[in-house]
Structures are given as C-alpha cells and as structure tokens.
Structure 1
Amino acid sequence: MEQAIKGENKHYFSHKERMELAKEGKAMPNGSFPIRNKQDLHDAIKSWGLAKDKSKAKAWIIKRAKEMGEEKMLPEDWDVVKKSADTLCKKCVINKGGETVEVWVKQ
C-alpha cells in the first residue's frame, strides 16, 4: 500500500466526527467504519472482522471502495464482481431451442 499522506492516517474518530462523516456518506449511519480515503479503506478492511454485523460492514466497505474506484484494494475472497469492458465480451450462441441469443462471457 502507498505511504499515507501526512495527516490522512487517523485511527481514532470522535463521536462528533463519525456523525459528521455519516452525514457526508463517508461512514455508516451509526458512524462506524469511517472511510474518507485509501488509508481509511485499508484500515476498514483490516478491522472488518471486529464488526458486530459483518455482512453490513462488508457491504459498506465494498460500496465505499467502488465509490472511490478502489475495488482492487478489496480482498479477493470477498468475491466482488469486477466487470469492465476489457474483460467481458458479447457473443452469439445457439440455445437448446435453436435460437440465436447474445450472452456476455469472460475473455
């Protein structure tokens, strides 16, 4: 991971800061898992296992990673579907009924 920019690496957020980040859409509604930048995303991924509701926390972290364009930081075993134009292509195939249909396949 890249060196954090000075001042970005913050591991403690006050209740007030967490609520403000929640209003801005940068933390969960209850203020947990604040994610403002890549360092926060990294920290959230590392601490995900401590969450009371792991599925909600994981969904939140994935959502923020996508919003930030940082899906590549997510663990591979989180099974995040990463679709892009250069990895999928459209092909025509004939189904069992003899009809030609278009499908998307991985290259």
Structure 2
Amino acid sequence: MGAPLEPARIFFAGTVASAPIVHSSAEGYVALLRIKVDGPQELLEWVRAEGSLGQFVAETGFAEGDAVLVLGELCCLAVTDDDGQERTECLTLAHRLTHDESARWVDQP
C-alpha cells in the first residue's frame, strides 16, 4: 500500500445520521458524528471533533436528523485490521461545526 494521503481541506453540508458518540477525559472531549453528505450520492462521512469543539458538540445537543455544516481536514491513513490486512481509513477532523440554520428555509426540487 502507498504512503498515507496528505490531509486536504474539506467543507460540506449534511445531516447527522446517528446519535453522536462523545468521550470525555482529562485531555478533553472527543466527539464522533456520522454525517450523510448532501448530494446525489448516498455518502456517509465520519467527523471527529476534539477539545472545545468536541465539548460544543456534547453540550449543544446535536442529534440524528440535524442539518449541519462542517469545515475541516479529510485525513486518511493506513491501518492494519485483525487479519493483518492493510486498508485505508478516512475521516474528517473538524475545525468548525455548526447546525445549518439555512437548511430549514431551502426546499430541494
């Protein structure tokens, strides 16, 4: 397998597909959200929010079905599974994350 891909800036709108997973520790908060990306394809993207942004996710009440906007970095790395096979896993490391208030005013054709 080749070298890991360099992180790429990414911005997208989508809908929270399942309840966020939030962990807190002495180092701070980490939140994982599974987002259905708006568009013609059925794409699901994992979004990770850390530190104060993770705490914001935990305290703001993001829930399944919420429209969101995400700005971050698409990070891909090689991982080895239990069978010793290498594969590439990608997720978005969020720099900004918010509810998409405009979504309620826009009708899709």
Going by fraction, where is helix more abundant, 1 or 2? 1
Higher CA-based Rg: 1
- TM-score, normalised to structure 1's length? 0.22
- TM-score, normalised to structure 2's length? 0.22
Determine which structure has greater relative contact order: mean sequence separation of CA pairs < 8 Å that are 6+ residues apart, divided by chain length. 2
